[in-house]
Amino acid sequence: MPRQHPKRFENQTSTRPRKWVNSIHWSFALLGLLSLSIPAYAQKPVYRCETAGKVSYSDAPCVGAKEIDTTPTQGMDKMTGASRKGADVRRDEHNALMADALKPLTGMSPEQYQVYKHRFKLSPRDKAECTRLDTELPELKQRAATATATATPTEKALADVELYKARKQFNNLNC
């Protein structure tokens, strides 16, 4: 015959604090808060390429490419005067607000936090390579720009090829 518990224990609840339950609740709350601020992907640059007199636009770099600013615009509604913002602009604003709120914890600006989130799943080697390319790309862009104005065609082509290789690696690593 199975042992039966006395009725006095049926409706009683423990008065002991459940620290692990509280920590789980906080963990889920923090996870939910962070998941709201995670974008699908950071915006990739768009390149304008000229090949044999034809112009094309691509997210993949080419030799002699120029980066195009593709920042979304914000329109105004003519009837109400209210701002009309697309989902991408609202998401970016939300992410910037979340990054500002988390700044005391992370110590990062919204731009730095966005890059950190985007590169979070990369391997440590790829993260280090992306960091190296972050400092190298502006220098190569400057070198290619000055080569256009002052250097010989060979030096300009060499500067463009170096810039292309760095951009291609940046793109392939998904920095």
Average pLDDT over every residue of 102-120: 87
More confident residue, 93 or 20: 93
- Is 82 within 8 Å of 76 (Cβ atoms)? yes
For residue 39, what pLDDT is reported? 41
For residue 89, what pLDDT is reported? 78
Distances in Å between the Cα of 167 and the Cα atoms of 54, 59, 79, 120, 125 are 21, 10, 44, 20, 17
For residue 118, what pLDDT is reported? 87
Binning pLDDT at 50, 70 and 90, where does residue 34 land?
Answer: very low
More confident residue, 69 or 140: 140
pLDDT value at 85 more than 80: no
Listed by start position, the domains of the chain span 85-109, 119-175
For the ranges 10-24, 51-65, 138-152, the lowest mean pLDDT is seen at 10-24
Binning pLDDT at 50, 70 and 90, where does residue 32 land?
Answer: very low
Average pLDDT over every residue of 42-60: 82
More confident residue, 120 or 36: 120
Binning pLDDT at 50, 70 and 90, where does residue 136 land?
Answer: very high
> String of b and e for 139-167 (b: at least 16 CB within 10 Å)?
ebbebbeebeeeeeeeebeebbebbbebb
